[in-house]
Structure formats: C-alpha cells, structure tokens
Amino acid sequence: MKNFRYKLAEFMNGRYGIDQLYKFSLKLCFVLLIVNVFISSSIVSSVIYKIIWIIFIWMGYRTFSKKIYARQKENQIFISIEKKAKKKISLTIRRFKEIKTHRFRKCPNCKTVLRLKRRKGKLIVTCPKCNSKIKVHILF
C-alpha cells in the first residue's frame, strides 16, 4: 500500500491535479446521471451518456495534464463565470424576497443595481456611485 502511494505521488508529480473546475464537472456529471434516470427517450438518454463520457475524459485529461499554466487559466475563467452567476442568482432571490417593498433598477451609466423603495410612478433618482440622475418608471 505504501509502495502504491509512492508510485501514485511519483506519477502525479508535475501534473495538474484537481481544482474547482474539476469538482464542478464531477457534480455536473452526477446531476446528469440523475436526470438521465428520469428520461424515457433512448435517443436523448444516449446523448446524455455521451456528454457524461466527454466530460469524464476531459476531466481526466485536465487532471493528468502537465501544462499547468493552461489548466490554471481555464480554472480562473471558470471561477470568474461562477462568481458572476452566483451574484446574479443571489440578486434574483433578493428581488423576489423584497418584491413587496422594493424595486431594483440598473444605472445606465455605471451598471450598478439600485435598490429603490417601491413608489409607483415616474421618479428621478440619483445614483450613489456615479451621481448621475436617472429617470425611473415603477409601474406596480
């Protein structure tokens, strides 16, 4: 067992290994496998299996790759996309939670999302970030 560990460590020396993108890919494969259980169409099912295999092969390729810099770059791109997606999801959840009291509008100048108290009608608001005046129309 100790010998196997040593051989594995020697094999992985200089190779990329596991990162956030790997973990996400693994979760994605797992979700696809579960989804596949509920799909009755054999054509769709076989396509999903092929996608899972492609992801698995890609994961293996990345893990054992010796081009560490390129793999790190891919991971950085993935992390930035994940961060943006999480931000968008949390904003959407907040919009639903505060639907009775607040409205959210994007500033056309600096793209900041403004949280406004719900007051029906046309308003002129000042953006706290870029200080520009924005016309806002809240219908309901």
The CB-of-109 to Zn ion minimum distance in angstroms stands at: 4
CB 123 within 8 A of CB 109: no
Judged by beta carbon, residue 59 or residue 107, the one nearer Zn ion is 107
Query: Interface residues for Zn ion in 101-130 (CB under 5 A)?
Result: 107, 109-110, 112, 127, 129-130
Residues with Cβ within 8 Å of residue 35, at least 6 apart in sequence: 48
Whether the CB-CB separation of 130 and 115 falls below 8 Å is answered with: no
Q: How far is the CB of 38 from Zn ion (least distance, A)?
A: 45
Task: Based on the shown chain and the rule CB under 5 A, indicate whether residue 92 belongs to the binding site for Zn ion.
Answer: no
CB closer to Zn ion out of 21 and 107: 107
Structure tokens given for 117: 């108290």
Number of residues that bind Zn ion (CB under 5 A): 7
Burial string for 7-31 (b: 16+ CB within 10 Å, else e) reads eeeeeeeeebeebebbeebeeebee
CB of 105 to Zn ion, least distance (A): 10
Instruction: Give the residues lining the site for Zn ion (CB under 5 A).
Output: 107, 109-110, 112, 127, 129-130
